[in-house]
Amino acid sequence: MTTESEDAARPVSLGFPTTLTGSGKDFPESLREQAKEILARYPADRSRSALLPLLHLVQSHEGYVSPDGIGFCAEILGLNRAQVAAVATFYTMYKREPTGDFLVSVCTNTMCDTLGGQKIFDEVSDYLGVGHDETTADGKITLEHAECLAACDYGPVFTVNYEFFDKATVDSALATVRALQNGERPMPTRGARLCTLKEISRQLAGFPEDRPEALADGVAGDATLAGVRLAQANGVSAPEYDPTTPIVTPKEG
Protein backbone atom coordinates (compact mmCIF):
# COMPACT_ATOMS: atom_id res chain seq x y z
CA MET A 1 0.00 0.00 0.00
CA THR A 2 1.31 3.44 -0.90
CA THR A 3 0.94 6.58 1.12
CA GLU A 4 -0.88 9.67 -0.12
CA SER A 5 2.42 11.52 -0.52
CA GLU A 6 3.91 8.65 -2.55
CA ASP A 7 0.88 8.63 -4.85
CA ALA A 8 1.16 12.39 -5.34
CA ALA A 9 4.79 12.00 -6.37
CA ARG A 10 4.03 9.49 -9.10
CA PRO A 11 4.28 10.84 -12.68
CA VAL A 12 0.90 11.28 -14.37
CA SER A 13 0.59 9.42 -17.67
CA LEU A 14 -0.62 11.57 -20.56
CA GLY A 15 -1.19 8.57 -22.79
CA PHE A 16 2.11 8.78 -24.67
CA PRO A 17 4.44 5.79 -24.98
CA THR A 18 7.45 7.87 -23.88
CA THR A 19 8.06 11.00 -21.85
CA LEU A 20 7.27 14.44 -23.25
CA THR A 21 10.88 15.38 -23.86
CA GLY A 22 10.78 15.66 -27.65
CA SER A 23 12.22 18.87 -28.97
CA GLY A 24 10.67 19.00 -32.44
CA LYS A 25 14.03 20.12 -33.84
CA ASP A 26 14.33 17.29 -36.38
CA PHE A 27 11.24 18.05 -38.45
CA PRO A 28 11.96 18.98 -42.09
CA GLU A 29 11.92 22.56 -43.30
CA SER A 30 8.97 21.78 -45.61
CA LEU A 31 6.84 20.97 -42.55
CA ARG A 32 7.88 24.22 -40.91
CA GLU A 33 6.80 26.11 -44.02
CA GLN A 34 3.42 24.40 -43.89
CA ALA A 35 3.19 25.30 -40.20
CA LYS A 36 3.79 28.95 -41.13
CA GLU A 37 0.94 28.72 -43.66
CA ILE A 38 -1.35 27.48 -40.89
CA LEU A 39 -0.28 30.26 -38.54
CA ALA A 40 -0.99 32.87 -41.21
CA ARG A 41 -4.68 31.91 -41.13
CA TYR A 42 -5.09 33.33 -37.63
CA PRO A 43 -4.73 36.83 -36.12
CA ALA A 44 -1.35 37.33 -34.49
CA ASP A 45 -2.89 37.55 -31.01
CA ARG A 46 -4.85 34.32 -31.58
CA SER A 47 -2.00 32.14 -32.80
CA ARG A 48 -2.65 29.36 -30.28
CA SER A 49 -5.93 28.71 -32.12
CA ALA A 50 -3.71 27.08 -34.76
CA LEU A 51 -2.88 24.21 -32.41
CA LEU A 52 -5.54 21.81 -33.70
CA PRO A 53 -4.48 21.96 -37.38
CA LEU A 54 -0.81 21.90 -36.33
CA LEU A 55 -1.40 18.63 -34.48
CA HIS A 56 -3.00 17.20 -37.63
CA LEU A 57 0.03 18.45 -39.56
CA VAL A 58 2.55 16.58 -37.42
CA GLN A 59 0.31 13.50 -37.59
CA SER A 60 0.41 13.75 -41.38
CA HIS A 61 4.21 13.56 -41.14
CA GLU A 62 4.68 10.82 -38.55
CA GLY A 63 1.39 8.94 -38.60
CA TYR A 64 0.73 9.91 -34.98
CA VAL A 65 1.46 12.72 -32.54
CA SER A 66 4.80 11.80 -31.02
CA PRO A 67 6.63 13.55 -28.17
CA ASP A 68 8.70 15.25 -30.87
CA GLY A 69 5.45 16.34 -32.52
CA ILE A 70 4.36 17.83 -29.21
CA GLY A 71 7.66 19.67 -29.02
CA PHE A 72 7.32 20.92 -32.58
CA CYS A 73 3.86 22.42 -31.94
CA ALA A 74 5.04 23.93 -28.65
CA GLU A 75 8.02 25.52 -30.38
CA ILE A 76 5.94 26.94 -33.24
CA LEU A 77 3.32 28.46 -30.93
CA GLY A 78 5.52 29.46 -28.02
CA LEU A 79 3.68 27.15 -25.63
CA ASN A 80 5.04 24.60 -23.21
CA ARG A 81 4.72 20.91 -24.01
CA ALA A 82 2.22 20.29 -21.21
CA GLN A 83 -0.19 22.78 -22.79
CA VAL A 84 0.08 21.05 -26.16
CA ALA A 85 -0.18 17.57 -24.64
CA ALA A 86 -3.35 18.55 -22.78
CA VAL A 87 -5.03 19.22 -26.12
CA ALA A 88 -3.53 16.25 -27.97
CA THR A 89 -4.72 13.82 -25.29
CA PHE A 90 -8.24 15.26 -25.20
CA TYR A 91 -9.24 14.55 -28.81
CA THR A 92 -9.32 10.95 -30.02
CA MET A 93 -8.45 11.88 -33.62
CA TYR A 94 -4.89 12.60 -32.44
CA LYS A 95 -3.18 9.25 -32.13
CA ARG A 96 -0.56 8.87 -29.42
CA GLU A 97 1.14 5.75 -30.71
CA PRO A 98 2.21 4.73 -34.23
CA THR A 99 -1.00 4.06 -36.16
CA GLY A 100 -1.65 2.03 -39.29
CA ASP A 101 -2.15 3.41 -42.77
CA PHE A 102 -5.85 2.66 -42.36
CA LEU A 103 -7.78 3.40 -39.17
CA VAL A 104 -10.88 1.19 -38.99
CA SER A 105 -13.40 2.64 -36.54
CA VAL A 106 -16.44 0.49 -35.72
CA CYS A 107 -19.38 2.23 -34.07
CA THR A 108 -20.50 0.29 -31.00
CA ASN A 109 -22.74 2.96 -29.49
CA THR A 110 -26.36 2.20 -28.62
CA MET A 111 -28.01 2.29 -32.05
CA CYS A 112 -25.24 0.57 -33.98
CA ASP A 113 -24.69 -1.90 -31.16
CA THR A 114 -28.37 -2.89 -31.31
CA LEU A 115 -28.01 -3.39 -35.06
CA GLY A 116 -24.91 -5.56 -34.72
CA GLY A 117 -22.01 -3.14 -34.33
CA GLN A 118 -20.35 -4.97 -31.45
CA LYS A 119 -20.50 -8.27 -33.35
CA ILE A 120 -18.83 -6.58 -36.33
CA PHE A 121 -16.08 -5.25 -34.06
CA ASP A 122 -15.57 -8.63 -32.41
CA GLU A 123 -15.34 -10.50 -35.71
CA VAL A 124 -12.94 -7.98 -37.25
CA SER A 125 -10.88 -8.03 -34.05
CA ASP A 126 -10.65 -11.82 -34.14
CA TYR A 127 -9.74 -11.81 -37.83
CA LEU A 128 -7.01 -9.16 -37.50
CA GLY A 129 -5.74 -10.46 -34.16
CA VAL A 130 -5.83 -7.00 -32.57
CA GLY A 131 -8.04 -5.26 -30.04
CA HIS A 132 -9.11 -1.67 -29.49
CA ASP A 133 -6.40 0.86 -30.38
CA GLU A 134 -4.07 -1.87 -31.59
CA THR A 135 -2.30 -2.15 -34.94
CA THR A 136 -1.59 -5.20 -37.06
CA ALA A 137 2.02 -6.39 -37.19
CA ASP A 138 2.45 -5.17 -40.78
CA GLY A 139 1.48 -1.65 -39.73
CA LYS A 140 -1.41 -1.47 -42.20
CA ILE A 141 -4.55 -1.45 -40.04
CA THR A 142 -5.42 -0.01 -36.64
CA LEU A 143 -8.75 -1.04 -35.12
CA GLU A 144 -10.78 1.01 -32.67
CA HIS A 145 -14.17 1.18 -31.01
CA ALA A 146 -15.97 4.38 -31.99
CA GLU A 147 -18.29 5.92 -29.41
CA CYS A 148 -20.57 7.40 -32.08
CA LEU A 149 -20.08 8.14 -35.76
CA ALA A 150 -23.21 10.32 -36.08
CA ALA A 151 -24.74 8.13 -38.77
CA CYS A 152 -27.62 6.35 -37.04
CA ASP A 153 -29.72 6.46 -40.22
CA TYR A 154 -27.13 4.24 -41.86
CA GLY A 155 -26.34 1.91 -38.95
CA PRO A 156 -24.51 -0.19 -38.28
CA VAL A 157 -21.57 1.76 -39.67
CA PHE A 158 -17.81 1.73 -39.60
CA THR A 159 -15.34 4.14 -41.11
CA VAL A 160 -11.91 3.79 -42.66
CA ASN A 161 -9.90 6.97 -42.11
CA TYR A 162 -13.22 8.70 -41.38
CA GLU A 163 -14.92 7.67 -44.66
CA PHE A 164 -18.22 5.84 -44.18
CA PHE A 165 -19.19 2.24 -44.88
CA ASP A 166 -22.93 2.12 -44.20
CA LYS A 167 -25.41 -0.65 -43.41
CA ALA A 168 -22.47 -2.84 -42.54
CA THR A 169 -22.49 -6.55 -41.88
CA VAL A 170 -19.81 -8.88 -40.57
CA ASP A 171 -19.20 -10.07 -44.12
CA SER A 172 -18.93 -6.57 -45.61
CA ALA A 173 -16.58 -5.43 -42.83
CA LEU A 174 -14.34 -8.46 -43.24
CA ALA A 175 -14.31 -7.99 -47.01
CA THR A 176 -13.21 -4.39 -46.51
CA VAL A 177 -10.31 -5.20 -44.19
CA ARG A 178 -9.19 -8.03 -46.49
CA ALA A 179 -9.13 -5.59 -49.39
CA LEU A 180 -7.04 -3.17 -47.34
CA GLN A 181 -4.62 -5.98 -46.49
CA ASN A 182 -4.29 -6.75 -50.21
CA GLY A 183 -3.33 -3.18 -51.03
CA GLU A 184 -6.75 -2.21 -52.40
CA ARG A 185 -8.75 0.88 -51.47
CA PRO A 186 -12.42 -0.12 -51.44
CA MET A 187 -14.86 2.66 -52.25
CA PRO A 188 -16.80 4.02 -49.25
CA THR A 189 -20.60 4.07 -49.37
CA ARG A 190 -20.54 7.87 -49.60
CA GLY A 191 -17.96 10.57 -49.46
CA ALA A 192 -14.48 10.68 -50.96
CA ARG A 193 -12.47 7.65 -51.91
CA LEU A 194 -10.00 6.32 -49.39
CA CYS A 195 -6.65 7.83 -48.61
CA THR A 196 -4.12 6.95 -45.93
CA LEU A 197 -4.26 8.29 -42.39
CA LYS A 198 -1.31 10.57 -43.14
CA GLU A 199 -3.09 11.92 -46.23
CA ILE A 200 -6.36 12.57 -44.41
CA SER A 201 -4.45 14.22 -41.55
CA ARG A 202 -2.94 16.65 -44.06
CA GLN A 203 -6.44 17.53 -45.27
CA LEU A 204 -7.60 18.01 -41.67
CA ALA A 205 -4.69 20.40 -41.23
CA GLY A 206 -6.38 22.52 -43.89
CA PHE A 207 -4.47 21.64 -47.05
CA PRO A 208 -6.35 20.73 -50.25
CA GLU A 209 -6.87 17.26 -51.64
CA ASP A 210 -3.98 16.41 -53.95
CA ARG A 211 -5.63 13.52 -55.78
CA PRO A 212 -7.54 14.75 -58.86
CA GLU A 213 -9.54 11.53 -59.07
CA ALA A 214 -11.05 12.17 -55.63
CA LEU A 215 -12.44 15.62 -56.29
CA ALA A 216 -15.59 14.35 -58.01
CA ASP A 217 -16.57 12.24 -55.01
CA GLY A 218 -18.73 13.25 -52.09
CA VAL A 219 -22.33 12.37 -53.00
CA ALA A 220 -24.58 12.51 -49.94
CA GLY A 221 -26.72 9.53 -48.95
CA ASP A 222 -30.51 9.40 -49.25
CA ALA A 223 -31.10 9.65 -45.50
CA THR A 224 -28.89 12.74 -45.34
CA LEU A 225 -30.92 14.41 -48.08
CA ALA A 226 -34.36 13.51 -46.68
CA GLY A 227 -34.73 16.78 -44.76
CA VAL A 228 -33.68 18.87 -47.76
CA ARG A 229 -36.19 17.12 -49.99
CA LEU A 230 -39.00 17.66 -47.45
CA ALA A 231 -38.08 21.35 -47.25
CA GLN A 232 -38.12 21.68 -51.03
CA ALA A 233 -41.47 19.87 -51.32
CA ASN A 234 -43.03 22.19 -48.73
CA GLY A 235 -41.42 25.41 -49.88
CA VAL A 236 -39.39 25.82 -46.70
CA SER A 237 -36.11 27.71 -46.89
CA ALA A 238 -33.82 29.64 -44.60
CA PRO A 239 -34.03 33.44 -44.78
CA GLU A 240 -31.37 35.10 -46.89
CA TYR A 241 -28.55 36.88 -45.16
CA ASP A 242 -28.97 40.65 -45.07
CA PRO A 243 -25.52 42.28 -44.96
CA THR A 244 -27.03 45.52 -43.61
CA THR A 245 -28.26 43.83 -40.42
CA PRO A 246 -26.21 45.24 -37.52
CA ILE A 247 -24.26 42.78 -35.42
CA VAL A 248 -25.10 43.30 -31.76
CA THR A 249 -22.35 42.43 -29.31
CA PRO A 250 -23.25 40.77 -25.97
CA LYS A 251 -22.33 44.01 -24.19
CA GLU A 252 -24.66 46.08 -26.37
CA GLY A 253 -27.45 43.53 -26.10
The pLDDT value given to residue 193: 87
Whether the pLDDT of residue 22 is over 80: the answer is no
Sheet holding 158-160, edge to edge: 134-135, 141-146, 102-107, 158-160, 163-165
**How many Å apart are CA 176 and CA 228, to the nearest integer?**
31
**Structural fold of domain 12-88:** Arc Repressor Mutant, subunit A (1.10.10)
Whether the pLDDT of residue 24 is over 70: the answer is no
Whether the pLDDT of residue 222 is over 90: the answer is no
- 42-51, 131-140, 154-163: range with lowest mean pLDDT: 42-51
**Homologous superfamily (CATH) for 102-196:** Glutaredoxin (3.40.30.10)
Residues making up the chain, counted from first to last: 253
The pLDDT value given to residue 4: 45
Whole-structure pTM over 0.95, yes or no? Answer: no
Domain ranges of the chain: 12-88, 102-196
